[in-house]
Amino acid sequence: MAEQRRLLVLAPHTDDAELGCGGSIAKLVEQGWRVSVVAFSRAEDSLPKGAPLDMLEKEMRASLESLSLSAEDVHVLGYPVRRFSENRQAILEDMVRLRNAFRPDWVFAPSTLDTHQDHEVISREAVRAFRSSTLWGYELPWNQVTTTITGYMALEERHMAAKERALNCYASQVELERPYFMPGLMRNLATLRGLQIKQAFAEGFEVIRSIN
């Protein structure tokens, strides 16, 4: 019997995995992959005044549970938001521990063209840490001046519906009217990416490293 294939998703903050590649997570879980997600920050400094400090972590865990991830495959670390550059070596060491423990075949991380300071650190250190894994960068267009989409994950309606259900678990972000939680935004982007490959929907990626 073939060994179960493994995808590791690196999310700088608690909602980045679902925004960038939630449909792909749903599809690969459906295909029998084991998927693990790690968020390097629960973004406590970005919470509204008086909000519980674990609010975004709880929303993330509910979101990924809706995508059929097990609790043991959801990890939340405690790096302070917007200060990843001060912790670059520790973040790299965490990635190496994750690599050795999980042994991923495929890694998703933010695109190397992502301009957010925390996302840039995760992307760059992923290139260093996961040299023996295929590495794709998911797009978050609001953080990118330009984009290089060279990899596509074709999606069906059920995968988009799963992504939307997962994002709806972030009630705090919906209520705050975060622009990237705008109704229909993710579906419209997936429709555009699907059009580029003659599919109903797709998520687009930067192929940083491909190993066959």
The 3-class SS string of 9-32 reads EEECCCCHHHHHHHHHHHHHHHCC
- Going 191 to 193 to 196 to 202, the CA torsion angle's sign is negative
Q: Tell me the domains of the chain and their CATH numbers.
A: 6-209 (3.40.50.10320)
Residue 175 pLDDT greater than 90, yes or no:
no
Q: What local confidence, expressed as pLDDT, does residue 201 receive?
A: 98
What is the per-residue pLDDT across 78-101, written as a single tens digit (0 to 9) for each? 999 999 999 999 999 999 999 999
Residue 1 has a pLDDT of 58
Instruction: Assess contact for 139 and 205: CB atoms under 8 A.
Output: yes
Give the rounded distance of the alpha carbon of 45 from its chain centre.
20
- The band of 51, judged by pLDDT with boundaries at 50, 70 and 90, is confident
- Average of pLDDT values for 49-57? 89
What are 48's two structure tokens? 């509204």
Measure Cα distances from 134 to 15, 61, 104, 107, 169 in Å: 23, 26, 9, 6, 29
Q: Are 109 and 138 a contacting pair, CB within 8 Å? A: yes
pLDDT averaged over the chain? 95
Q: What percent of the chain has pLDDT over 90?
A: 88
Residues 64, 57 contacting (CB under 8 angstroms): no
Name which of 20-24, 150-154, 161-165, 181-185 the model is least confident about. 181-185
Please state the rounded mean pLDDT for residues 10-17. Answer: 97
Band the pLDDT of 138: cuts 50, 70, 90.
very high
